Amino acid sequence: MNAYINQAVESFRTLITEQLERQERIAAGAEVKDYTKMEKIVIGVCGGDGIGPIITREGERVLRSLLKEEVEAGRIEIRTIEGLTLEKRMEVGKAIPDDTLAALKACDVILKGPTTTPHGGNMESANVTMRRELDLYANVRPVNVPDQGIDWIFYRENSEGEYVLGSRGVEIPGKLAMDFKVTTDAGTRRIARAAFEYAKNNGKTNVAIVTKANIMKKTDGNFSKICHEIAEEYPGITAEDWYIDIMTANLVNEAIRSRFQVFLLPNLYGDIITDEAAQIQGGVGTAGSANVGDRYAMFEAIHGSAPRLIEQGLGEYANPSSIFKAAAMLLRHIARTEAAEKLEKALLICTESERKVIATGSAEDAKCAEFADYVMETIAKL
């Protein structure tokens, strides 16, 4: 037993040292890219697993058509990134193979299909690895249901919390298991600033800080405290504390939910509640997600790789709406606002007002590619 304890204490020392170093790197800051001034932007596209390559292929087709002129002029390059598949990851025993990671780092922004994460074991999720390696600290997820007055945006901390050491817990077999949750001051400050900047620039007046600070006193306690310190720099925007449990209920409380605007939360709560929010909008297949850092940004569907759809031979019927929303967010991020608006408008027409073609994952409805054709035809008519 003592050997286990000694080993755990030793590895805890390493963890604290590493996390302190990470906090130093965050505090040092990084230069933020200005896409309006760049001569060339490289968009990497990686398909992932399951339905990933199917929906991402259509996402790429839409991007190519919207950015045709700039691609032809060499101002934008759309590059395929290979090797982010489960088979390749298992083969090399890494969540992201080295050459794939190098290829990703040579891009500015990335459109990514979902990747499968093996349960248990030590293999980290490719998603989590990418977020860490590219330091994508803000996970931004908008949810809109216009006819119910819902216009939400979630700012989920994306680089720490329960995720950062999720594969490095300790275990005394047959007795206990422990995982760690980490909140750094600098890490909280940057996500809080991102949320309040968004609020300020988009005329929002309320930010809900969602934690469980009554129980997770150190990590969530600090998160909330630091968010309030940042809030003081934003007069005219109120910052309210909420606990995650009641906020989960509030999202399905039709009497009050439309008053919420911007949500600011630590990683795991953000993960859970954004699936709930996406469901209110029509399902996880309908929501896009931006993973934003200072140097890189990655845009993805919020759903998984849907292995069941593949097993049933229905992969080609997957709904690409989520990756299309992600593509629109990518366009907005690189300051291609007009192209982003076109795609967003077309998506609204195709999924809300007209619905002439729908893709639902069922063979009775349209194929992924047919729905993509419909979106592109709609864009052409705008």
What are the helix (H) ranges across the chain?
2-28, 52-66, 68-72, 86-92, 98-105, 126-133, 185-201, 219-231, 244-250, 267-281, 307-311, 321-333, 337-348, 368-381
Is the CB of 117 or the CB of 261 nearer to ligand IPM?
Answer: 117
User: What is the smallest separation between the CB atom of 274 and ligand IPM, expressed in angstroms?
Assistant: 6
Q: Which does 125 bind (CB under 5 to 8 A by kind): ligand IPM, Mg ion, none?
A: ligand IPM
Is the CB of 62 or the CB of 284 nearer to Mg ion?
Answer: 284
Is the CB of 19 or the CB of 158 nearer to Mg ion?
Answer: 158
Q: Are 210 and 261 in contact (CB under 8 A)?
A: no
Distance CA 364, CA 277 (A): 27
Site for ligand IPM in 289-328 (CB under 6 A): 302
Residue 85 interacting with ligand IPM (CB under 6 A): no
263 phi and psi angles, rounded to 5 deg: -110, 140
Stretch of 12-20, 122-130, 218-226, 333-341 contacting ligand IPM, by CB under 6 A: 122-130
Within 13 A of 55's CA, how many CA atoms are on the CB side?
38
User: What is the smallest separation between the CB atom of 249 and ligand IPM, expressed in angstroms?
Assistant: 21
User: What is the smallest separation between the CB atom of 76 and Mg ion, expressed in angstroms?
Assistant: 30
Reference 157, options 206, 102, 230; nearest CA is 230
Distance CA 228, CA 43 (A): 36
Q: Which does 140 bind (CB under 5 to 8 A by kind): ligand IPM, Mg ion, none?
A: none
User: What is the smallest separation between the CB atom of 38 and ligand IPM, expressed in angstroms?
Assistant: 27
Q: Are 165 and 179 in contact (CB under 8 A)?
A: yes
Q: Are 78 and 45 in contact (CB under 8 A)?
A: yes
Residue 110: its H or E element: strand 109-112
In three-state secondary structure terms, 312 is: coil
Helix count (H) and strand count (E) of the chain?
Answer: 14, 12
Is the CB of 58 or the CB of 271 nearer to Mg ion?
Answer: 271
Site for ligand IPM in 6-65 (CB under 6 A): none
Q: Which does 129 bind (CB under 5 to 8 A by kind): ligand IPM, Mg ion, none?
A: none
Residue 127 interacting with ligand IPM (CB under 6 A): yes
Residue 117 interacting with ligand IPM (CB under 6 A): yes
Q: Which does 309 bind (CB under 5 to 8 A by kind): Mg ion, ligand IPM, none?
A: none
Is the CB of 194 or the CB of 230 nearer to ligand IPM?
Answer: 194
DSSP character for 365?
A: S
- How many angstroms separate the most distant Cα atoms in the chain? 71
User: What is the smallest separation between the CB atom of 275 and Mg ion, expressed in angstroms?
Assistant: 5
Distance CA 157, CA 97 (A): 25
Is the CB of 220 or the CB of 300 nearer to Mg ion?
Answer: 300
Q: Which of 8, 18, 64, 125 binds ligand IPM (CB under 6 A)?
A: 125
Which token pair is 363? 């063979």
Q: How many residues bind ligand IPM (CB under 6 A)?
A: 6
Q: Which of 136, 271, 306, 327 binds ligand IPM (CB under 6 A)?
A: 271
Is the CB of 286 or the CB of 378 nearer to Mg ion?
Answer: 286
Report the interface residues with ligand IPM, using CB under 6 A: 117, 125, 127-128, 271, 302
